[in-house]
Chain A
Amino acid sequence: MANNRCSVLVCQGTGCVSGGSEHIYNALKDELESSGHDEDISVKRTGCHGFCQQGPMIVVEPRGVFYTKVKMDDVPDIIKSVLPGGKSLDRLFYRDPVSEKAVMHYHDIPFYVKQERTILKYCGYIDPEEINDYTEIGGYAALRKAITGMTPEGVIAEVKNSGIRGLGGAGFLTGRKWESCRNAPGDVKYVVCNADEGDPGAFQDRSVMEGNPHSVIEGMIIAAYAIGADKGFIYVRAEYPLAVNRLKIAIEQTRQEGLLGDNILDSDFSFDMEIFQGAGAFVCGESTALVRSIEGKRGMPKAMPRPRTTEEGLWNKPTLLNNVKTFANIPLIITNGAGWFARRGTEKSKGTAVFSLTGKVVNCGLIEVPMGATLRKIIYDIGGGIPGGKSLKAVQTGGPSGGCLPAEMIDIPVDFDSLAEAGSIMGSGGLVVMDEGTCMVDVARYFLDFNRRESCGQCIPCRLGTRQMFEILDDITKGKGRPGDIDLLDRLSKSIKRSSICGLGKTAPNPVLTTLRYFRDEYDAHIRDMRCPARVCSMK
């Protein structure tokens, strides 16, 4: 990269690929090779830039010229523009949706300026299929530092001091989890990366795996060193073929470099990992269900009380399970120190949060902000507000286990505790913006439909309760609501929360509880007045 006069970075995230970026990449490469310019101009494929809606995207470095919505027909002009004397292509610049002004550089676009990208920093800059790209930006230095200069206890202390909490949704203190897994008796231990990103409306784990797979692998190896594991699994959804492929390539390269396998970096620490493809079950995001799934069983959670997975996980051995983003943070914590990490965020939620910002918002995409940023900043400063002159109605966080917060609450800070207090959850990071054209009863119905389909069927409150709730909500959205339905929904919600055996069941009623709490009038309008204020439901 250093020898080239300029590089053309072509985004190869799932979003851009669906817009044809793979063909654009190949065409650019062929064209430059056949004209003999491939010496001084390199074409690189990168992971997701996060601004998927503007895809396919191309960034021309070193100046950071940003092209959006590129088509095959643009390839000849892009080539001309990067040749000596070439001019940048105005027509492919990003246009500010409000002022319609063209913005030439990546680093001047409000969507990026207002973020603090740390684990996403190199997604979109490095070639995820080239381990050298990762090492050039300091990759695997943390692993070297940990293995050659730190004790496992020292690594755990660093993670503990950083204050990082699990980014899969529950927010359990990562350092404490590592410590309890290290202290659990047993010679055989496992490290598992939970990449079963099943929340509809969330794609941040996918983007990290597609854009910077080595950061996840490095985090896992460091974790294995810290807890004393010699085998690891990445449990990734089969629906993410591109992520699976990139991880496979990355694992193989890591092995060839001697960073995975026997006697890593000539130490007596050995560790290897493999990919396990999830076969499509939302409930497998739950730790005990995920474990059973890898063991070749139906992915049904174990009932409480039960030992923690850190004590009895895969094949009843102590197992450390963390989310993709948690692992991706680890190399940064080890390299830069706990203090560096803890500088960002709030008192109880440290570091950054990655969100998939989607729905009725001008700039959709993947964003990263310090914990504690307000919803207002996310939706208006980064997201550019609501399109079509409409007004914000609600924000949904936490997917099917989370809730809908009303527009009045957009000044609350986004962190684990504030969201929980408001009745929602951080979840794995889906953030769906809803405007006046969204019916909140329909949204509640939608999530209960999801939860009823995804219930594993093991316990009655969840299996039958979510179904009952769905049927009541379905009736309400069809103009067949009855007086007393709201009380019934409330009662059902409470008993499902109390008596389900796993997290999926216990949180399944949340979308209903929050919409009842904040949008009661919409339920009343449907039931009493037979009217859908947002005109979404056909009240036949």
Chain B
Amino acid sequence: MTMEEEFVDRILASYKGERNELVPILQEVQENLGYLPEKVMIDIARFLGVPGSHVYSVASFYAQFRTLPLGRTRIAVCRGTACHIRGAPLILHEIEDAIHLKEGETSGDLEYTLETVACIGCCALGPCIKVNRDVAGDMTPEKAKELFKGNGSGNGENRGE
């Protein structure tokens, strides 16, 4: 048994195996592994007694779930309405240029993941971005540039879902 499998088994042991536990299980697994590997989704399907396709259909439906590993630094640019009209698209472009990633991509060296989110809920501070768990508000293209200066991703091919 790999460490990953052991880990997932431990998580599953705290559930009853009912179908309605699927979303919470996926959330807990992703919280710990960072993403949902195919093998793990099959294990979860077996645990709940549902086809693997069902687990994948749910995992692919919700924006929260990832089937590829994420970068160590997760940057989420808010594309809420308030942020949009205050220039969020410019912030996104600035960050894309600074770290050489497009929206939705993870750098080959797994340093960065760049994504957009529907709304962080900090509309009064827009435009805002989230770096891992921290929200940074009142962004300007200059601030964004400063924040990620010289932090272009390293070697390896960028990947996106």
Contacts and interface: CB of A to CB of B under 8 A. Distances in A.
Interface stretch (B57-65, B67-75, B149-157): B57-65
A299 interface: yes
Interface string A235-265: 0001111000000000000000000000000
Contacts of A299: 61-62
Counting chain B CB atoms within 10 Å of each CB, the highest count among A295, A296, A366, A432 belongs to A296
Interface string A423-456: 0000000101010001000010011001000101
Contacts, number: 135
Interface stretch (A35-43, A58-66, A91-99, A199-207): A199-207
B27 A277 contact: yes
A358 B27 CA distance: 31
A52 interface: yes
A201 B121 CA distance: 7
Interface residues of B, number: 40
A238 B61 contact: no
Interface stretch (B1-9, B80-88, B106-114): B80-88
B98 interface: no
Interface stretch (A279-287, A319-327, A488-496): A279-287
A438 B63 CA distance: 28
B125 A277 contact: no
Contact of B121 (A206, A364, A396, A450): A206
Counting chain A CB atoms within 10 Å of each CB, the highest count among B57, B64, B85 belongs to B85
Nearest to A297: B58
A239 B24 contact: no
Contacts of A499: none
Contact of A52 (B23, B83, B122): B122
A238 B64 contact: yes
Contacts of B80: 200-201
A29 B14 CA distance: 37
Contacts of A201: 80-82, 119, 123
Contact of B85 (A206, A238, A360): A360
B81 A279 contact: no
A14 B121 contact: yes
Nearest to B50: A296
B43 to A, nearest CB: 16
Interface of A: 14-15, 17-19, 51-53, 55, 197-203, 206, 238-241, 276-282, 293-300, 356, 358-360, 364-366, 396, 399, 430, 432, 434, 438, 443, 446-447, 450, 454, 456
Going nearest first, the 3 A-B pairs with the smallest beta carbon separation are A280-B63, A279-B62, A201-B81
Interface of B: 18-24, 26-27, 57-58, 61-65, 79-86, 117-126, 128, 133-137
30 contacts: A14-B122, A15-B137, A18-B128, A18-B135, A52-B125, A53-B124, A53-B125, A198-B119, A200-B79, A200-B80, A200-B82, A200-B83, A201-B82, A202-B119, A239-B120, A241-B133, A279-B23, A295-B19, A295-B20, A296-B20, A296-B22, A300-B61, A358-B126, A360-B85, A360-B86, A364-B123, A366-B124, A432-B82, A450-B79, A450-B118
